[in-house]
Chain A
Amino acid sequence: DGGITQSPKYLFRKEGQNVTLSCEQNLNHDAMYWYRQDPGQGLRLIYYSQIVNDFQKGDIAEGYSVSREKKESFPLTVTSAQKNPTAFYLCASSPGQGFSGANVLTFGAGSRLTVL
């Protein structure tokens, strides 16, 4: 079945450490996204990528970095510069402009990061 796989599901990090969250999709979608969700709040966009080797900052990109070297993969690194990284991180993809359902997002199961 096509879908999005995120790993790890749970991650604990000590302050000052960088961590990388994996996101892989086999939906052949052009666009991929990273969102952060905090309790009682809506999803906030961290980074998005419309095409391989290109990505754009979202609303809360500070302290995060991404790469898009392959269409299927969009890893997110949470750096030590992110002051409050404990959150639920969601990766999503969409077909992209010009395709049916261009704006419909499909999400992975999420990665829950806790900083100790």
Chain B
Amino acid sequence: RKEVEQDPGPFNVPEGATVAFNCTYSNSASQSFFWYRQDCRKEPKLLMSVYSSGNEDGRFTAQLNRASQYISLLIRDSKLSDSATYLCVVTPSTGGFKTIFGAGTRLFVKA
């Protein structure tokens, strides 16, 4: 079993749609959780951290379920510019040096 698993997609959605991505992780001692966005042939960039209480940043909402070892990202009112690969990222409790990246979920938003 992979340490961080994501549905690779692709997810094809129309503009304005709501789309949700899921991610599971295997290490119950994991401490920090993030969503990164990666555009084609570019570097990953931090989208948002994920907190235990859940957090929202504009159209983006992240949720963490420690009991189920599950992280989610919800994008509301999708824009064409949201088309990218979304990476689920998990850091173990021992520190950030063994940060584990999921393989990513590809999203295509169409007009």
Real binding pair? yes
Across the A-B interface, how many residue pairs have beta carbons closer than 8 Å? 58
Complex Cα–Cα for A56 and B98 (A): 11
Let me know if B46 and A40 touch, CB within 8 A: no
Let me know if A108 and B43 touch, CB within 8 A: yes
Complex Cα–Cα for A58 and B96 (A): 12
Known A-B contacts A41-B103, A103-B91; A56 and B43 likewise in contact (beta carbons under 8 Å): no
Stretch at the interface among A14-22, A43-51, A75-83: A43-51
Query: Which residues of B in the span 92-106 have a Cβ within 8 Å of any Cβ on A?
Result: 95-104
Say yes or no: is B25 at the interface (Cβ < 8 Å to chain A).
no
Complex Cα–Cα for A107 and B36 (A): 11
Known A-B contacts A56-B97, A94-B96; A40 and B43 likewise in contact (beta carbons under 8 Å): no
Say yes or no: is A66 at the interface (Cβ < 8 Å to chain B).
no
Q: What is the total number of residues of chain A having a CB less than 8 Å from a CB of chain B? A: 27
Say yes or no: is A104 at the interface (Cβ < 8 Å to chain B).
yes
Q: What is the total number of residues of chain B having a CB less than 8 Å from a CB of chain A? A: 25
Which residues of A lie under 8 Å from residue B49 when comparing CB positions? 104
Which residues of A lie under 8 Å from residue B99 when comparing CB positions? 33, 45, 103, 105
The residues of B with any CB-CB pair to A shorter than 8 Å are: 4, 8, 31-32, 34, 41-46, 49, 87, 89, 91, 95-104
The residues of A with any CB-CB pair to B shorter than 8 Å are: 31, 33, 35, 40-43, 45, 48, 50, 56, 58, 88, 90, 94, 96-97, 102-110, 112
- Rank and list the top 4 A-B pairs by shortest CB-CB distance, nearest first: A103-B96, A107-B43, A42-B101, A43-B101
